[in-house]
Amino acid sequence: MNHVDPNLKKRAVHRANIIKGQMKGLIKAIENEKYCPLILYQSLAIQKSLKSMDRLLLENHIKTHVKTQMQNKNINKATKELLDIYNLANN
């Protein structure tokens, strides 16, 4: 049983590679003592990129694992996982 949407996987890996590059740039900016607001802009851009990747990962989880759990009548597990993700994202 395939639990990964190939398109979403490709997009998530691409997004993760972009974030890796952004992190290298952030580290370099800190090391070079760039102007604080510029470092903060870069950090905030990384956070936005992470949220974008999180949406892709959640979309894959819903389309694959949650769908399978619902079909197998494992509603409690699916609900708990989604609520745990929701709580982590909002606390």
Please list the ranges in the chain whose pLDDT falls under 50: none
Domain boundaries, the chain: 6-90
| pLDDT tens readout for residues 51-68 | 999 999 999 999 988 988
Is residue 58 within 8 Å of residue 5, measured between CB atoms? no
**Domain spanning 6-90 has what CATH number?**
1.20.58.1000
So what's the pLDDT on residue 91?
Answer: 82
Task: Please state the pTM of the whole predicted model.
Answer: 0.82
Query: Rounded to an integer, what distance in angstroms lies between the CA atom of residue 2 and that of residue 4?
Result: 6
Mean pLDDT of the chain: 92
Give the pLDDT score at 2.
57
